[in-house]
Each structure stands twice: as structure tokens, then as C-alpha cells.
Structure 1
Amino acid sequence: MENTPSELVEYHDRKDLPFQTGEDIGRGTFATVYEAKKPAGEYIYAAKVFYLPITETDQELQKGRIKQEAHLISKAQHQHAVSLIATYIFNNKIYIIMEPLADQNLEKYLYDTIGELRTEERQSRQLQLLSWYGCLTSGLAYLHSQYIRHRDIKPQNILIQGDRILLTDFGISNDDPGNTIKTATSTIGTRVYKAPEWKEMGTGYARPGRAGDVYSLGAVFLDMLLVYAGQDLAVVCDQKGRHLPYREHTSEWVSQLQGSCQELRENVYWFSTILFLCQRMLEQDPDARPHIGEVELCWSYGPFEVVPASRCDCHVATQIYKAMGADEVLDQATINGHNLVQDLMSQRDFMVD
């Protein structure tokens, strides 16, 4: 009988392992990612491998956490979320097998786009970024609908395979402690992209909810917007090129970009619209941020586009409001109480009569 993905099976003999690991394709402080195949297969998976803690008590706590969260993640069946294939233990290491094996992460894509010298290729990569806003929104909305909170959204945890973009490491992630904090429940949050409600303090405080994910995704969106608009990432980095924390600089950065918005609005289509969406998602007060479902609703109108369209079909099921023009969008958004859609349309200088 085949094990389910959420079962944390322990193996004691290498010949019994369900997967064989190959080339090392990424290394972090605690985990290494390898290519992995089934013994008689050709399809390549990703295997994230990390050591169990030293003490038996910590080992049991870690195993319990992995089992619980693997059960949640195994439910995630969405085209913009990685799939959990198996979790098991061998030789004091935990193996997390996932698919697909990505070509790169979003962080690398952004910096490669900045450094691309061929104009045509750079523009193609920038347009691809534009189509991913809806995809990432759809992916996070799905996770939240399955009661999965990511809590570590950052460009390194967003994978790219061809023109497909995927959220990964939701729930079972370990990172460099110099760039993370740990809650009482061992949940990790990334310093640069974490929401203001993550406090630099000890254990025992309430952990942020879904609004924290919305904030982090808004921060990623702003990084993407800068590269899409040809602005590189200098505005969000210090003099040594290190990305500064959003929670300490959001107001400053948004104001700076709004100051140059007129020029960019004339030359960069969708710039001011996405900047406005980022501003709402990056509100300091968690209660002032839109729910991710409200953000997803911005893609529910068609054929008139409230926001840039995705190239894939991830929003087909949500495009339930047929609107041929701005007036129809505003009428339907008003009737249905879609306040964020109304705000975005107003920002684009469309007004309800």
C-alpha cells in the first residue's frame, strides 16, 4: 500500500528509499535542495533535505510539526502552488519531495532581468512579470481558502518553471536565522518582507494571520513593479545593495514612487494601478489591508481589465462579472460591494456618475 504524502515514514535501509537524490541544486543554512527521481523513473522532482535536531525532544517536536503541516500542504492542489509528493526520514535527515523542479526562483529572475543587456529580451521578461501578479494572487487566495497561511512569502520562496510561477515553502521552511524570526510555534517569517505586526521579541505572542501574507505579497509585488518599470531595486536597498525591510520604509518608498508616478504613468502601462494596489496591501494596520479574496476580485471582471491579465487560465473560474467597459465595471462593483475594485477604477480616473 502506497504511503500518502503527509505520512512521515522512517526508513532504515537505503535500498528501501522511494526516491534517489542526485545533483545539489541549492544550499541554505539548514537545508539543501537536490534533484530526485523514483528508482525506475525519469521524471525529476525537487528534494529538500535537512537534518533533524540533536535532542530527542526537539526531534519529536519537529516530526510532529512536519506531520501536521504536511497534511495541510498535501491538500494544496493549485497550478501556482508546488505539490507535496512525500515526506520521510532516513539517516537522521528529513526529506521533503515536491514537484515541479523549478528552473529558478523569483529573486534570480528579477536580478537577471535587471542585468539583461538585450533590449528585446529584457522587455519580454518585464512583460512576463506583469502577467504574474494575477497568478500569485490566485495562488495565495487558494491557500487561504484551504486554511493554509504561508507566513514566509518572499522572492526566494516563489519558483519559476518556464512561464509558470509557483508559491513554495508554505508551512515547512527553515531559513537563515540572521534573516528570520521564530514564533512560539516555530513558524518562520522573513525580515525583509515580513509585516509590521511581526514583533522583534520573545515567544508567547499572537502570530500574524492572513493579513501578514497579504503584506508580504504586496512587498514582493513592489519589487516586481520596480523591475517591470525598469527602475531596478536600488530604491529599496542600502548603499551596499542589501534589501531594506519593508516595514520600516514602505511609506517612504511609496511616496518616492508616487512622486515620479506621472512620468511613469505616461511611459509604463499599469504602473500607477499596481502601485496603488501595493499601497493598499502594504498598509501598516493589518485591518486596513484588503483580504486576498478582495484582491483576487480585481481579476474577476472581463473582458474589460481592471488589472493586468494573467497569461494562464488561473482566473477563468473567477471571471464571473462580464463588463465591456469601465462604466459597467463600476456599476457592478458598486452593486456587489467590491470596494477595492471601485478604488482601483477611481485611481484610474474612472468615476461613478
Structure 2
Amino acid sequence: MSAQAEIVVSERNEAIELGAWSVRRRLGRGGMGTVYHCYNPLVPDIEAAVKTMDASMSRSVRSRKRFIREAEVLFSLDHPHIVKVRNVHMDHMPPFLEMDFVAGTSLGALMAKGALTKGAATSLAAQMSSAVHYLHSRGVFHRDIKPDNIILAGERSTLVDFGLVSEDHQATLNRPGALFGTLQYVPPEWGGGSRPSGLSWDRYSLGIVIYEAFTGHHAFERPESGSLLENLSVVQDKKRAIPHLDPGPSAPDEVRWLVRALTARDPLHRVVDLESTAARLRMVRREMSASDAQALPVPGSKSPGSGSDTWHSVAELGGRGGAPTAVPETGSFTVEKGASDHPDRSAAQTASHAPGPNPTLVPRHMSAQTLVDLPMEPQEAAPALASEPRRRAPVGVALAVAVAAAVSGLLVASPSGVDEPSSGPTAWPLERVVLPETMLLEVSELLDGKPISRDEQPLVEAGNHTLRFVIGTDCDASDPGPHCHVYDRPFTVGADGTGARRRISLPAFSRRMVQISSSQGAFRVRLDDRPWTDARTEHRFDALLPGVYAVVLQAGECPDQPCLDGCPASCVEEPRTVVVPYEGTEPVVMAARIQAPARPVVAAPQAVSRGLRGLVSVGRFERWLERNTGYGPNGAQGRKQSKRYLIGWDGLKAPSNRPGRVITESSAMVDVSAEVARRFCDGHGGLQPVDAAPQSWPITDNSVPMFEFREGTSGPVVIGSDGAVTVVGSLTAVQPQTGFRCRR
């Protein structure tokens, strides 16, 4: 090896120096390289785990990319139970990674000595659930979670070895036919030339690891003899023949439920909120007594509380031989002629082609027919996670018959039922995928009438529920306007959590054109806060989203900003509201009659304008507010109105003036919404009907409102001083220069 490589090896070809690091000992060797426990010779207390790339693989461009990818992904992760990468050195031969040194013992080595304590196993389940949730939340998938890749120090566990790491948006870094995964921990749907999703894969592997931590033995042993493909077929058939694993009554009920969900045969059933599950398991660990933290019973001995029953994992029939075995990523598997792919074979089919041992924990006196599956069929179209057709390599009939005979010897029929967890979960996190993921409109969600956020996963109990989506800006579910849409999705959650995973497609909407025209000559128009646009007789706003828009029309010599009720005599301004409905595609047409004044009009001052007779005054409204404080600017009902509601008011008192206008108790009450006008008039016979007098009135000065709220046949309307009537688009929107009258 050249001096530039900076890697010194011993006579036995073992590395003793790796760059600036000195080697204490070799920690392990894998398919991609070797991991060493190293220290800094200048400061021996500084330690690291250094992973070198196998010399033969380092010459492969593809392998080097995969090695770099592992370093990049690990460097971006920061979780207390995931090993941390410090640096990568690709300028050495062979290249190597610097990682934090994690002191402890692998779970695989500890299992060889027996089961973990219940406390340690529960802590491991909580910490690994949290770590896997963290990975998946960042689109990273480990694909090789197993006991040998988990280091324990006391009750602290760390996930290591990301050699098979991938991301959901990355193409696989493995070529077809390469070794990928570990035989005993790949999910049952693996095989047939395709690969399961990383999310489903990691969840299944995690479930097996937790099962093994509590039981102290492997869920699925690799046969001692036979080719790799034959062993793969045998082990995969064992997995496909059972609904799920169960560590038995010695484990906490929360752990039993978690293992059953994670190891479900169908990947669509592995729906678990690992983050909230980890929190629950941490609480379970804290509540354990000293006796609960003692060693778990070894399979084959009497379990506490089981009387004379002896619990077994029938996977023990497969033998103890076989270290972790890598699985080909792709391969061709033939289906034995006449064999059934379905796990629920008839007795005749089972006799000729046994489904393999069932590793669900069952007492000797139980019948195999009493095993209960936990279906969690989604009731919405789910992402493509369906398992591949079950295809396997031919296995000798004698082996299948021998396994079937061994299983029948263990499982003797009995009328007793299966020992289920004493108290399984009573509520499940509601997982939902809402499409489209990005909406141009506001979307609020309610579960059974209570608001929830998009990222929240509230717990739902078994029974009937309703998801409600309120789509649109400033929309109230109890009183939506035409620009809003309320979309209800009833659903049912079964006693086993079925239905707690939803996929919802929100209804589509169309952008609309708004056409504004005037028959009285040129004008200019402004939509919300957009710039003014000059128009001769017509103007169009294209591609508007559903919503309520404020429109201001002006004619004559006008200021740059809307002058509201303080316009000069040379300017005529007409504020309007246009509603773009949620449903429909046709243009929205608004006709206006606005004309520039011929000359300024100066009205003689008068105490009370003739046009104010019958209108609700400011003084009456103030006295009403004192009895109905909720409609004040800061009241619960007042805050529901649009932003112009009671503008300038000091609590329940009106301002003394506005631009160009003096406000007294006798002034007409404006700056309210149709809803508030209605509420005020409830005690006075209701709003004045639209066909009541006056039908038009002169605008003698700026104290006379240009518009009034009236009650129409289908709800509130706005009538102008010229007699024009328009429908109110939003009950809570404040209409500028709009007063109101009551029937009495």
C-alpha cells in the first residue's frame, strides 16, 4: 500500500492506523467493509468508530457513490438514538467514515445470553420507535434494522450501520442481483423481482426486533442447510402464513399491540404513529415497578400467570443455525405447479404444501384455528404499498410435510380461546392524506365539530366520525357564503382501528372572470389593494379565485386613495362588493351606474338631513352595544366581522369625527355588517323590507349614507340611493357608507 494512503496494516493485514487514528480493535466486518474502534494517539480519550470501505468495492464507482451516500445521509441526521457521522475521507485508499464511537453491546450479542429485562426491552422499543419515526419524517429509510445493528449501553440504544440507507426520491444504489437486506428481517411481501417501500420495510423489521428483545429468541430462524434461495423461500413462507407476531402476555399490552401492528402480514395494516407510540412506551417504562424490570421468562418456561401453560414460538422448529443472511435484491422465483399462493389453504392443500410454522405465541393447549387476525383494511384508496404476488422457489415436499407434522404436534385442539392482550388500545391516531397537498385557498379542518390542524393526528375511538373541510377565505362552517365550500366525509373506525387511515381528495374549483361595466361613461376601478385601472365603459379581472372582493368605482376628479365618505365634490365614489362563487365556471358580471359630477355641489349645512329620517342613529347603536357587549369591537361576535367593523371606535363609543365628517348621536350608523344590522333590528320587527319606502333618496351631504341594508326575499340586500339592489355576498362583511332601518 502506498504511503499516500495513510493506512497502516499489520502482518495479518489488519489495520492498525487509519489516517490520524490509531486502532484499538476491530468491531466487526460486513459486506461493504470493516468497522474499527479507534482513538487519537495525541489525545487517547478522543475516540471514534471508523468504517473502512472494502478494498475490492472501493474500485467500483457505484460502490463509492453508495458509500458517500451513506455518509451524506448520516451527516444530516441528529437524533439521540442514531449514530452520528463526523466526516468522510474519500481521498484515502480505501475510503473511510468517521463516526461517534458508541460504547455498549449489540442486541444480537445480548440475545445470545437470554432475554432483556422488561424495562430494558420497553426502553428499546420506545427509543427505536422514536428513531425510525425521525428517519421516516425526513424521507430516509434504513432497510437493515436488526439486533446486530442496535447497540445497547444499559437502557440506552443506538441504531447503527446505514449501509443500505435510501431516500424515497432517490433511485436505489444497488444493482439488480446485489445483496440487500437481512433474510430474517425483510418483510413478507419481499420477492418476485420487486422491493417493498422503505417505510413498510423498516416498520416490519422494527416489529421483529422488538418481538425478539422481549422473547429472547429469533422470530424466524434460517434453516441450517439449503441454498440461499431455498432458505429465502422457507422463511418468507413462514412470514406469509401468519397474520402477525405477538410477544405474549409477559410483555406490556402497549408493546403487544405495537408488535402486532408492525408485523402485520399486509403492509397496508402497518399503520402506526411511531412518535406518539414512543411517548406512550416511555410512560409505560416510568410506571414499571422494580419487579417489572426483572428478566423476562425464557420461551419454553412457564410464564407468570399462565398456570401450567407453556408458551412457545413455533419458529423454534426451524433450528438455530444461521447467522444473519443477506437477501438478493432481485431474483426469479417459480411457483410450484399446483401449489396455492393463498395463506388460507384448505386442509388438503396444507397436507401437501404446509404454510410453515406460525410464530405467534400460543399455549400448547390452543388450536391453530383459534388464531385471530387483526384486519385494518383502509376504507380509502391507499398509496401503492400492496404486497407482491407470493412466489417462491420449489421446496421439497418431504420438508413441508415434516414442518406440518411438527406444527400439529405443538398445537393441540382445545376449546379455549387465544390469550389476547388484556386491554388493547381504545383510540388510534387519525392518519390522513389530503389532496391536493397545496391549496390556493384556505382550508380548515374539523373532526366531529372540533378544529384540528393539518399536521395533527388526533386520536379517534371506535365508532362513527365526520371530517369536515371548510374551503375558502374568511369562511364560517356554520354560515358559509357562496364563495365557500363545506365538504363532509363521514367514516367509521372499527374496534381494531380499521378506518383510522384516510385519503381525501378535495373538490375542485375554477378561477373566474369578473366583468364590471357602466353605462354612464368613463370610470376607474380598484379591486382590493390592486392598482387603479381606467376603463371607458367596461373592465375585466381574469382568473380570480373564489372569494369576496372589495371593489371601488370612481368617476370625476378623485384622490389617489379611496375617499370613502370624505370625497370632494368633484369626485363620485361607489364602493361595491363582488363575490366569486366556489361552484360554477361562468363569468361574474357587475353593472354599475357611476357618472362624474358636472360641477361640485356644496350643500347647505343642516341639523339633521332629510335623508337621515328613520335610519338607526349612532346614539341608538351605542345604547344597544351597552346591553350587547359581545358585538363591541373586541367582543366575541365583533371579532367575527370584517376588519372595517366599527372602525375608529373606542370600546363602545363612536369617534367624534371621521375625515370630512362630524359624528354626533344623531348621525346615521354605518360601518356595520348585514349580520349586526339584523341583530340590532331583531327587537324592532327586523330589517326594513326592500320594497319599503324610501326606494331612493337624494345625497344632500356626506352625512347621508349612499346605501342601506334591507331584508330581501332570500336574505339581506343592499339598496342604493338610486334604487339599485344588490345581494349581500357576506353577512360579516362591512359595507362602506351603508346605514340601515328597522321596521319599527
Aligned to 1:27: 29
Rg larger for: 2
Aligned to 1:102: 103
Paired residues of 1:51 and 1:92 also in contact (CA < 8 A): no
Residue identity opposite 1:19 in structure 2 = W
Aligned to 1:167: 159
> Partner of 1:36: helix, strand, or coil?
strand
Paired residues of 2:141 and 2:199 also in contact (CA < 8 A): yes
Q: Where is the helix percentage greater, Structure 1 or Structure 2?
A: 1
- Aligned residues: percent identity? 21
The alpha-carbon deviation at position 239 of structure 1 amounts to: 7.9
Residue identity opposite 1:197 in structure 2 = E
The alpha-carbon deviation at position 39 of structure 1 amounts to: 3.9
The reply to whether residue 338 of structure 1 matches residue 339 of structure 2 is no
Instruction: For 1:86 and 1:310, locate their aligned partners in 2 and report how far apart those are by CA, in whole Å.
Output: 40
Paired residues of 1:298 and 1:340 also in contact (CA < 8 A): no
Residue identity opposite 1:65 in structure 2 = R
Residue identity opposite 1:278 in structure 2 = V
2:266 to 285, 299, 302: 285
TM-score, with normalisation over the residues of structure 2? 0.33
Distance 1:144 1:297, change over 3 A: same
Distance 1:183 1:38, change over 3 A: same
| Structure with more contact order per residue of length (Cα contacts < 8 Å, sep ≥ 6) | 1
Aligned to 1:317: none
> Partner of 2:185: helix, strand, or coil?
coil
Paired residues of 2:26 and 2:36 also in contact (CA < 8 A): yes
Residue identity opposite 1:101 in structure 2 = V
The reply to whether residue 154 of structure 1 matches residue 142 of structure 2 is no
The reply to whether residue 295 of structure 1 matches residue 248 of structure 2 is no
Instruction: For 1:144 and 1:250, locate their aligned partners in 2 and report how far apart those are by CA, in whole Å.
Output: 24
The alpha-carbon deviation at position 105 of structure 1 amounts to: 0.7
The reply to whether residue 138 of structure 1 matches residue 130 of structure 2 is yes
The alpha-carbon deviation at position 17 of structure 1 amounts to: 2.1
Aligned to 2:215: 226
> Partner of 2:56: helix, strand, or coil?
coil
Aligned to 1:179: none
Instruction: For 1:189 and 1:310, locate their aligned partners in 2 and report how far apart those are by CA, in whole Å.
Output: 36
Could you report, residue by residue, the CA deviation over 1:34-77 in whole angstroms, capped at 9, with x for unpaired residues?
11123422222112223233685x2x222222223311110111
Distance 1:161 1:96, change over 3 A: farther
Instruction: For 1:55 and 1:298, locate their aligned partners in 2 and report how far apart those are by CA, in whole Å.
Output: 41
TM-score, with normalisation over the residues of structure 1? 0.65
Instruction: For 1:68 and 1:236, locate their aligned partners in 2 and report how far apart those are by CA, in whole Å.
Output: 31
The alpha-carbon deviation at position 341 of structure 1 amounts to: 11
The alpha-carbon deviation at position 207 of structure 1 amounts to: 5.4
Paired residues of 1:30 and 1:50 also in contact (CA < 8 A): yes
Distance 1:36 1:251, change over 3 A: same
Aligned to 2:689: none
The alpha-carbon deviation at position 249 of structure 1 amounts to: 2.3
> Partner of 1:112: helix, strand, or coil?
coil
Map 1:315-326; keep pairs closer than 5 Å: none
Distance 1:161 1:49, change over 3 A: farther
User: Runs of 5+ in structure 2 lacking a partner?
Assistant: 8-16, 166-173, 226-230, 289-424, 431-446, 448-456, 464-494, 497-744
> Partner of 1:298: helix, strand, or coil?
helix
Paired residues of 1:250 and 1:282 also in contact (CA < 8 A): no
Map 1:1-353; keep pairs closer than 5 Å: 12-13=5-6, 17-28=19-30, 30-41=32-43, 42-53=45-56, 56=59, 58=60, 60-89=61-90, 92-114=93-115, 125-171=117-163, 184=176, 188-199=180-191, 201=193, 205=194, 208-227=197-216, 232-233=217-218, 236-237=220-221, 247-250=236-239, 261=248, 265=249, 268=250, 270=252, 272-291=253-272, 294-300=273-279, 305=283, 308=285, 337-338=458-459
Residue identity opposite 1:198 in structure 2 = W
Instruction: For 1:149 and 1:239, locate their aligned partners in 2 and report how far apart those are by CA, in whole Å.
Output: 28
Instruction: For 1:16 and 1:255, locate their aligned partners in 2 and report how far apart those are by CA, in whole Å.
Output: 45
Aligned length: 281
Could you report, residue by residue, the CA deviation over 1:140-192 in whole angstroms, capped at 9, with x for unpaired residues?
1111122211011111111123431011112458xxxxxxxx65496831111
Cα RMSD of the aligned pairs, angstroms, is 4.2
Could you report, residue by residue, the CA deviation over 1:320-341 in whole angstroms, capped at 9, with x for unpaired residues?
xxxxxxxxx9589686543599
Q: Where is the strand percentage greater, Structure 1 or Structure 2?
A: 2
The alpha-carbon deviation at position 30 of structure 1 amounts to: 4.9
Aligned to 1:322: none
The alpha-carbon deviation at position 221 of structure 1 amounts to: 1.4
User: Runs of 5+ in structure 1 lacking a partner?
Assistant: 1-9, 115-121, 174-181, 312-328, 348-353
Instruction: For 1:302 and 1:255, locate their aligned partners in 2 and report how far apart those are by CA, in whole Å.
Output: 20
Paired residues of 2:211 and 2:245 also in contact (CA < 8 A): no
Instruction: For 1:309 and 1:61, locate their aligned partners in 2 and report how far apart those are by CA, in whole Å.
Output: 47
Could you report, residue by residue, the CA deviation over 1:184-236 in whole angstroms, capped at 9, with x for unpaired residues?
496831111011233254xxx45532111101111111112213xxxx45x64
Distance 1:27 1:64, change over 3 A: closer
Paired residues of 1:193 and 1:247 also in contact (CA < 8 A): no
The alpha-carbon deviation at position 25 of structure 1 amounts to: 2.8
Residue identity opposite 1:148 in structure 2 = V
